[in-house]
Each structure stands twice: as structure tokens, then as C-alpha cells.
Amino acid sequence: MKYRHSFHAGNFADVHKHVALCALLQALQRKDKGFFYLDTHAGAGRYDLAGRDTHHGAEARHGITALLAAAPELQSPELQQYCEAVFALRRSVESDAACPGSPWLAAQHLRAQDRGLCCELLPAECRALERTLGGFRRMRVACLDGFEQARAVLPPAERRCLVLIDPPYENPDAEFERSLAMIQLILERLANAVVALWYPIKDERTLVPWLARAARALSAPASTIELWLFARDSRVGLNGSGLLLVNPPHHFTARAELWQQELRRVLDPAQRGGSSVHALTRGGSSDDTGT
């Protein structure tokens, strides 16, 4: 496996995924009871947009860089809070080129009653992740396969959890199917688990049938939220970003519809793309995220 999260750090899909993640974490924290966070494909946790791995922030210019430039005018609380988190990271490491990954964003959200586990299989990435999360006592790092760890740690003692699945999609067909099987296993272990699976919008011939299979396979409430900046099936590169949300918190998708529209206006000034929120199964949001 050659994929590294740093290759695309801060691009529009990264921003879309991370705004959603922060909003999910805040939704779970509407209850005082703690929850368990699991990141199955964590990456290094923090990236340098001035570095070679990110192509000196080339993709980020149309993602996080553009969003931060618009921060004073943003209206959606979800976008404002994400920008505040990025600025906080940059202040803490004294670098305007720092870009947070999902582990750092999750770690800085966790309360005293919450805990998390971030898994990364690549040794170099995992060592970087350990350095990134070294100051966060509520977050643990495992240099292991995240799917195998899910089998080992679920259900959690808290009986509430959020699982982020963000595979590299080097073999899209296989990873779509493996991710769907993992979601089904997670729900067998904990029926009210909140799961967010990120997926690329690149080829409708693969994506549409897979989402149809997911709709048939899942019995829990499930929705998709999608943002695309290019024609969905242009076959040139990454056209858009999607998240399959299982047991999304109450009102989450309604809010996502609003912040996605604003995010698109900022990142897609030519209005070539679009955004959508779709209930994949009956009852596309959950009234509860655990007792």
C-alpha cells in the first residue's frame, strides 16, 4: 500500500469530511454520557502544507486554504467551528502551514468522559500519529489494522460510539465491499453505533450500484451527504466527496444540507458542481445516539 493521507491533505474532500466529523462529535456531546471514538484509517494526524508530501499545499489551495480565507464571512456554525479548530492547531504549533487530520480534530474534541482509538497500519505514518497525539490523554494509538481492531474493541463499555472509516480506495471495489461488511459487523456489536464511511465520487458505474447494495444490506437508518466540484463522472480525478452515515444524529442531515451549500459556494465559485443529502434507508436519521 503506497497511499498516504498527506498526498491530499487539506483538499476539498478533506475539508468536507472533517467538517462533518467535527459536527458529528459535537452532536454526540449533546449528551453528558461519554462515548468511544474509533478511527480505522487514521494517517499521521497532522500535515505540513509546505512539505513535499502535500505538493506544497497544491490541492489545499482549493480546499482548506480557500475556506480559511473566507472564514470572517462564514455563516454556518459547523464551518466556523472547523475553521476555529484549524486556527487553534496553527497557533499551538506556530505554523500557518499546519493542517489537522481526523485524529487531531477528534482528540481535541474529546471530553474527560470520552475516549478514542486511532489505528494506522503504515509504520512511518503510525509513528507520526503517535507524535501528533502525544499530548492527548484520552486518545490511544494502535499501529494495527483498524478493521481488525474494530472486532476486538466493539462493543465499547460506554455503549455509545462513533466510527470513522476512511480507506485509501486503492482497490475501490474490494474496499467498498469490505467497508460495507465492517459496518454490518459494527451494527451487530452495537446497534446504535454512529458510523461515517468516507467515499470518493469518481465513477458512477461503481458508486451507484454499491450504494444500492448498501441500502439493501443496512437495516439501520442511513443517509449520504455529498459535495462535488466537478462533473460526477468526468473520469479525470476526484470529482467529489461523499459520506455514508449510519445512525446519523437527529437533525444532523438537515444541518448538513445547509453547511454543504455554503461550503460549495466558497470552494466552487464557478458553480460547476453540486451537493446533496439523501436518505439511503427508511428513517435517514436517528433520534438517539445511545443512552
Is 166 catalytic? The answer is yes
Helix/strand/coil for 279: strand
Name the active-site residue from 14, 39, 166, 268: 166
At 128, list the grid cell: 507520526
DSSP secondary structure letters along 22-59 = HHHHHHHTTSSS--EEEESS-TTSEEETTSTTTTTTTG
Asked if residues 175 and 169 have their Cβ atoms less than 8 Å apart, the reply is yes
The full length of the chain comes to 291
E strand map for the chain: 36-39, 46-48, 98-100, 115-119, 139-142, 161-165, 194-201, 222-228, 240-246, 274-279
Evaluate the omega torsion of the peptide bond into residue 156 and state whether it is cis, within 30 degrees of 0: no
CB 99 within 8 A of CB 49: yes
> Residue 229's Cα: distance from chain center in Å?
18
How many angstroms from the chain centroid is the CA of residue 60?
Answer: 16
- List the Cα angle 263/45/116 in 5-degree steps: 100
Grid cell 454556518 is found at 76
Q: How many CB atoms lie under 10 A from the CB of residue 106?
A: 29
DSSP state of 283: S
Catalytic residues: 166
